[in-house]
């Protein structure tokens, strides 16, 4: 699909969501990983990143009718909301502790955010057993022994699945600084 | 390199990274190092159910938001006509059809109860004929009595009191006066008690309760500042400021004070505000009907100055008629273009239909 067609589709999706908020789900699907990656990169904590991501999408849904199409990707609008939300959180936190505001930067769809968004999205497409190992290991932070017991496999087999999953992801995700193929 | 060794080496590096966030293997092979970069990013991988949970949350919120007018204006199918019924997007929560059906049944039941009880109550009530007060169109007529009255005289009196005579009813009119009216009685036990009267045409007025000057606003008992006898500031034996045995200014008896009768160049007053009298409860209960005739003096200001019952029907209807006519307002009678006070007769009919 050409870039022009993508832009036209996104505009149609936005107009549809502005008339019927239930159509917002498609915009959510297209932008979830990008917004989450953007926030996770800034806050560094999964729970807080999830919390802020939820807040961003709720705000976006509330204000979708105010969005005016000016040729800028919808993701830029979402990332602006995300940046503001993160800044608000940090300003509140700054009242009780020191916060380094230097890391607050202008929002943008940079390559690193796109790379992570693509990585998170690719995890969902991994084979079932590889995906399970990745989630148990990195999200739930279980040991290889615990995962092996849960899956009923040997520790060696789980380590092999872990290797293959990471290898699978590495092969599809551009290296840091490389050209990113925006996920859709 | 043995694959098992690579798996082991990778896992050890991951274990170290997990144990010490931010640490990276000092001496890793290039292939392991690349995988560790991926692994490092995966530490922030969202929980697997987070995305789906948030999506469900947003769907609920979106469902609570109404469609824009543009969407509503589209040719409607059933869901657009009743979005809440069809669980489209309306209201605070997604619609449950069972709840809607229960609500519909409850409302229908409530409606049946209300209508049923209304009809039942209506049938239980005895057939009541609605009582309607019908006020006959007033007849401002040239009364025969009024016609006999001439504004030629009046009366007045007093016993040189400092105060004027108090407000009260006129004494009974009579053709001859034997005893002038007094409020402050000097002799409580006269040898020959005679009813005090004034000399004036008989209007068949009821027995006065409190004797006095109807035009006075005072309440303190006094016979007035006049002389001779009677009540008021005049010098006769009547009531008022005149000099005769009648009432009002002037002399020679009768009703003075320039109260004219209609005719002979005096126009009839015209009623401009006439609220209906109420039917008295006892007359309504007894289904009593009748016509009350009143005698009234309508002043130059169009207000009722004097009001007497000329023909009573009782059952509280007289009082109701007086009460109503007292509130009436008239376009005053005129003589030579100037408003004057006139005496008129008013009929108030009470009828039940």
pLDDT for the residue numbered B29: 74
Q: B290 near B312, Cβ under 8 Å? A: no
Residue bearing tokens 């409860």? B281
CA distance to partner chain B, nearest, from residue A136 (Å): 10
- DSSP states of B4-58 as a string? HHHHHHHHHHHHHHHHSTT---SS--HHHHHHHHHHHHHTTPPPTTHHHHHHHHH
pLDDT for the residue numbered B106: 93
Alpha-carbon distances of A141 from A96, A123, A165, B42, rounded to whole Å: 30, 16, 16, 11
Closest of B265, B267, B235, B268 to residue B252, by C-alpha: B235
Neighbours of B347 (CB within 10 A): 18
Any B CB within 8 A of A156 CB: yes
Pairwise CB contact (< 8 Å): A54 & B55: no
CA distance to partner chain B, nearest, from residue A91 (Å): 23
Any A CB within 8 A of B38 CB: yes
Tokens of B47: 């929980």
Pairwise CB contact (< 8 Å): A163 & B35: yes
Q: What share of chain B is helix, strand, coil (3-state, %, to 5)?
A: 30, 20, 55
Any B CB within 8 A of A123 CB: yes
Any B CB within 8 A of A20 CB: yes
Report the alpha-carbon distance of residue B203 to residue A89 in Å, rounded: 97
pLDDT tens digits, A27-42: 999 899 999 999 998 8
Neighbours of B95 (CB within 10 A): 18
pLDDT for the residue numbered B185: 78
Mean of the per-residue pLDDT values of chain A: 82
Of B3, B38, B61, the CB nearest to A169: B38
pLDDT tens digits, B25-56: 555 677 788 888 888 889 889 998 899 999 99
pLDDT for the residue numbered B21: 58
pLDDT for the residue numbered B151: 42
pLDDT for the residue numbered B139: 44
Report the alpha-carbon distance of residue B332 to residue B302 in Å, rounded: 5
Averaged pLDDT in 10-residue chunks for chain B of 353 residues: 81 85 58 86 89 89 68 46 49 59 90 89 53 44 36 66 80 82 79 81 65 77 82 82 76 68 81 85 85 87 86 88 89 81 86 75
pLDDT for the residue numbered B1: 55
Which residues of chain B does A37 touch, with a Cβ-Cβ cutoff of 8 Å? 44
pLDDT exceeds cutoff 90 at A18: no
Question: Could you tell me what percent of chain A has a pLDDT over 70?
Answer: 82
Determine the 3-state secondary structure of A124 from DSSP.
Answer: coil
pLDDT tens digits, A46-92: 899 999 999 999 999 988 888 887 878 888 889 999 999 988 888 77
pLDDT band at A96 (very low <50, low <70, confident <90, very high): low
């Amino acid at each position: 699909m050409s870039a022009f067609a993508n832009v036209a589709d996104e505009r149609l999706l936005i107009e549809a969501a502005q008339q019927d908020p239930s159509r917002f789900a498609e915009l959510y699907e297209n932008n979830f990983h990008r917004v989450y990656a953007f926030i996770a990169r800034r806050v560094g904590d999964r729970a807080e990143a999830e919390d802020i991501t939820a807040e961003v999408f709720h705000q976006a849904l509330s204000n979708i009718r105010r969005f005016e199409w000016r040729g800028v990707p919808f993701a830029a609008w979402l990332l602006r909301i995300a940046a503001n939300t993160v800044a608000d959180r940090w300003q509140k936190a700054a009242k009780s502790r020191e916060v380094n505001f230097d890391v607050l930067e202008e929002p943008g769809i940079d390559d690193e955010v796109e790379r992570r968004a693509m990585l998170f999205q690719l995890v969902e497409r991994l084979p079932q057993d590889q995906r399970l190992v990745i989630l148990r290991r990195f999200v739930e932070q279980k040991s290889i022994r615990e995962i092996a017991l849960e899956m009923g496999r040997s520790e060696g087999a789980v380590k092999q699945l872990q290797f293959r999953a990471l290898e699978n992801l590495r092969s599809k995700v551009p290296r840091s600084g490389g050209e990113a193929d925006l996920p859709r | 390199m043995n694959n098992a060794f690579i798996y082991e080496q990778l896992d050890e590096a991951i274990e170290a990274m997990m144990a010490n966030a931010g640490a990276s293997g000092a001496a890793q092979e290039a292939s392991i190092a690349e995988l560790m970069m991926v692994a490092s990013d995966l530490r922030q991988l969202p929980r697997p159910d987070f995305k789906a949970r948030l999506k469900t949350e947003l769907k609920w919120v979106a469902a609570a938001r109404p469609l824009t007018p543009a969407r509503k204006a589209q040719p409607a199918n059933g869901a657009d006509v009743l979005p809440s019924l069809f669980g489209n997007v309306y209201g605070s929560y997604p619609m449950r059809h069972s709840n809607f059906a229960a609500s519909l049944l409850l409302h229908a039941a409530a409606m049946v109860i209300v209508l049923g009880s209304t009809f039942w109550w209506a049938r239980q009530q005895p057939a009541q004929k609605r009582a309607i007060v019908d006020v006959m169109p007033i007849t401002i007529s040239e009364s025969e009595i009024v016609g006999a009255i001439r504004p030629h005289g009046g009366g007045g009196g007093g016993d040189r009191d400092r105060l004027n005579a108090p407000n009260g009813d006129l004494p009974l009119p009579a053709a001859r006066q034997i005893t002038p009216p007094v409020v402050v009685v000097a002799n409580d036990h006269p040898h020959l008690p005679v009813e005090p009267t004034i000399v004036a045409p008989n209007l068949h007025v009821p027995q006065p309760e409190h004797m006095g000057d109807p035009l006075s606003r005072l309440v303190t008992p006094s016979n007035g500042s006049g002389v001779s006898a009677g009540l008021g500031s005049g010098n006769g034996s009547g009531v008022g400021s005149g000099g005769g045995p009648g009432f009002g200014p002037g002399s020679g008896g009768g009703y003075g004070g320039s109260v004219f009768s209609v005719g002979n160049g005096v126009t009839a007053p015209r009623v401009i505000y006439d609220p209906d009298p109420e039917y008295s409860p006892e007359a309504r209960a007894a289904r009593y009907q009748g016509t009350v005739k009143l005698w009234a003096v309508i002043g130059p200001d169009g207000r009722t100055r004097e009001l007497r019952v000329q023909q009573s029907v009782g059952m509280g209807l007289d009082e109701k008629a007086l009460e109503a006519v007292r509130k009436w307002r008239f376009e005053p009678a005129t003589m030579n273009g100037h408003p004057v006070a006139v005496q008129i007769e008013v009929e108030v009919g009470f009828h039940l239909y």
